[in-house]
Amino acid sequence: MTERAATHERGRESGHGTLATAIGRRRLLGWPLALSGMAVAPRVVADSRPPVAGQPGTPAASETNGGPMSPARALQALPRLESLQLDFAGYLVSGVGASPIASARLIVEVGGSRYRVVLDVDSFLADLVYESEGRLDDAGLHPEYYRESRKIVFRSQRVKEVRLRETDDPARTNHHDGKTLWVPPGTQDRVSLIFQYMLMARADADMLRAGREIDIPYARFRDVAPSRWAAGPAERIRALSAEERTQGPFAYRIGQVGHANADVDAAFWIWAGELRLPLMLEFSEKGRSLRFVATAFR
């Protein structure tokens, strides 16, 4: 067990949080920019020869041209879930280039009707943890706790968390009571949304068809906002090793539509391979981006 994993286990045993250690908050793009040694981050380019119909992992053409589909419809054929870990290399990308700045792990743990998703970021500037826990059923993930933590060099750890409770009552939606936020069914947080989209893409390949849109309520600490996400065309990404990339280097960008009021512009790239793993994560703000590129999975 790694030192970070052991820390999570000690948190469970000490009673901090529901399934894991109490986690706090750190915005990824708030790091100091005292960087040097500029390097070239893995490129993302649209490819002139994307996957063709009939190949493994290729999104099928939709039989309808309706509006955004619901998560319930997309998850009617929800596949069997397994726990996994994805390792990432992190780069700070700006107009003058990119610099390696961090490493990260996306950890997914599934046990019966419960799930836990953790995005754990290590850098020489700060340690950041984003964690989501909740229920799992045929509709996918139902976040019940969301936490963010930050530990900046020479500063104390800061923790921020919120308890999420689903309600069908529109009058109660968005009501914030202490650390409890009432949200509509289907709501996701920053990290559960990535895994939820991965599950939907595994259940319905049409989720990755270019232009396909879906509405997902997005929970923050004090409110929940509507958000719409759309898939882009197939792109070639340099991620994972040659041995692990047996299903090809193509991935589909999932980006937010009409995100003018969002504090951070988030996007992620879902592998065209049958596993539908997120090969890249990107958070952008004020002309700079923090990009995480997958290097290994297990």
pLDDT per position as a tens digit, 70-106: 555 555 545 666 688 999 999 988 878 788 989 999 9
Q: Tally the residues of the chain.
A: 298
pLDDT at 145 over 90: yes
- Nearest CA-CA partner of 268 in 117, 145, 160: 117
Query: How far, CA to CA in Å, does 68 sit from each of 120, 125, 127, 233, 283?
Result: 31, 40, 37, 17, 24
| Integer CA distances (angstroms), 128 to 147, 166, 235, 247, in order | 11, 27, 29, 32
Higher pLDDT, 59 or 251: 251
Token pair belonging to 147: 């936490």
Residue 282 has pLDDT above 70, yes or no: yes
- Please list, residue by residue across 179-206, b when 16 or more beta carbons sit within 10 angstroms of its beta carbon and e when fewer do: eebbbbebbbbbbbbbbbbbbbbbbbbb
CB 232 within 8 A of CB 280: no
Predicted TM-score (pTM) of the model is 0.73
Average pLDDT of the chain, as a whole number: 74
Sequence-ordered strand ranges (E) for the chain: 44-46, 84-94, 97-111, 114-123, 126-137, 140-152, 158-166, 176-177, 180-183, 213-215, 218-219, 224-225, 228-237, 250-257, 265-271, 278-285, 288-297
Closest CA to 121 of 257, 45, 26, 254: 26
CB 217 within 8 A of CB 186: yes
pLDDT class of 13 with cuts at 50, 70, 90: very low
How much is the pLDDT for 239? 82
Higher pLDDT, 29 or 71: 71
Alpha-carbon span 97 to 267, nearest angstrom: 19
* pLDDT for res 60: 42
